[in-house]
Structure 1
Amino acid sequence: MSLIINITSIVVILVSMFYYYRKVIAAKTSVLAQKVLANASQLTMSAYMLGLAVILIELNAFGLSRTKFVNHLLIYGGFVSLVNSFSLWYFSRTLKED
């Protein structure tokens, strides 16, 4: 079960990364796309800090082994990647040109 979760997390991270790069390339020529990236980065940073806090609490409270720590880091990376991709998608649909 852990292997499936790890592979799924890695795939989510890779797909999200390529989606993000596609949006960054589009942002070079569009002010609206730059606004989308700016708003999405705020949510991504919040998800990053929230996930980091959860991992640190688990690490201190439960004393994670190396295997569990790596699994949690992959899940954490997948979570942050999903938040980034979803926020990019959401803001690209909802923000309008001024």
Structure 2
Amino acid sequence: MSLIIQIITLVIIFTSMFIYYRQVSKAKKSQLGLEVLARTSQLSMSAFVLGLGVILIELNSFGLSRSEFVNHLLIYGAFVSLVTIISIWYYSRTLKN
């Protein structure tokens, strides 16, 4: 089960990175694109800090093993990646109006 979770989270992370870099290359050319990326970065940073806090609480409360810690980091990375991509999609749609 651990291997399946790792593969799924890695696919999510790499797909999100591809979409993000493609969006950044498009956004350099317009003011709207830069505003979308600015708002997205605010949500991404919030997700980053929230996820880090959750991992630290789990680490201090439950004493995660090394393999559990790695799984939690991968899930954390996938969470931040999904928040970034969903916020890019959302702000691209709503800021056009």
- Shared fold by TM > 0.5? yes
Amino acid at match of 2:87: S
Count the aligned residue pairs. Answer: 97
Amino acid at match of 1:7: I
* In structure 2, C-alpha distance between the alignment counterparts of 1:70 and 1:93, rounded to whole Å: 35
- Return the offset for 1:5: 0.8
Q: Percent identity?
A: 67
1:3 counterpart = 2:9: no
- Please list the CA deviations of residues 48-93 of structure 1 after superposition, one character each: whole Å capped at 9, or x if unmatched: 0000000000000011011000000000000000000000000000
Q: Using structure 2 for the length normalisation, give the TM-score.
A: 0.97
Instruction: Give the structure 2 partner of residue 20 of structure 1.
Output: 20
Question: Structure 1 segments of 4 or more deviating over 6 A?
Answer: none
- Return the offset for 1:43: 0.5
Map of 1:14-93 to 2, 5 A cutoff?
14-93=14-93
Unmatched segments (≥5 aa) in structure 1: none
- Return the offset for 1:96: 2.6
Amino acid at match of 2:33: A
Q: Using structure 1 for the length normalisation, give the TM-score.
A: 0.96
Unmatched segments (≥5 aa) in structure 2: none
